[in-house]
Amino acid sequence: MIKQDGFTLIEVLVALAIAVTALMAMTGRLGASSDIQHALLAHALMTETAQDLIEAEHLTAGFSMHEKSGVRDVGNYSFNWRIWMEKTSIDGFVRQNVEVATEGDEPVRLFLYRHISR
């Protein structure tokens, strides 16, 4: 009886098909991971921008109930922002709202309750 060493052509083709399928699945995951990292970075920068806007508004000497808006460039991103005040049911307190958004991502909204002295 003759002993054969090595693999048959069918075994090699099946092994290659499995390897190609695994590589394609991993490549797809890398693209999805990149998209998720982009979205997380944008969300973190929008949150930081919103916090900066609230703090800057809180430190200003004047107080205005008028809505303000603008554009702020952070890194490679351009964020549209707006700040507005709402009266509350508690006398002397207002709710300061800020919204920061960029195209293609969900906006970030933060708020702060402020006491206004008269």
Partner residues linked to 68 by β-bridges: 83
Confidence (pTM): 0.68
Name all domains of the chain by residue range, CATH numbers in brackets. 9-115 (3.30.1300.30)
Query: How far apart are the C-alpha atoms of 49 and 45, rounded to whole Å?
Result: 6
- pLDDT 10s digits, 45-59: 999 999 999 888 878
Q: How many CB atoms neighbour CB 80 within 10 A? A: 14
The closest of 42, 47, 100, 94 to 70, measured between CA atoms, is 100
Q: How many CB atoms neighbour CB 45 within 10 A? A: 20
Pick 49 or 75 by higher pLDDT. 49
Is residue 19 very low, low, confident or very high in pLDDT (cuts 50, 70, 90)?
very high
What was the pLDDT predicted at 116? 80
Give the lowest-confidence range in 34-38, 40-44, 67-71, 84-88. Answer: 34-38
Query: How far apart are the C-alpha atoms of 42 and 107, rounded to whole Å?
Result: 10
Query: How far apart are the C-alpha atoms of 5 and 108, rounded to whole Å?
Result: 64
Query: How far apart are the C-alpha atoms of 18 and 15, rounded to whole Å?
Result: 5
Q: Check the CA dihedral 80-84-88-94 and report its sign.
A: positive
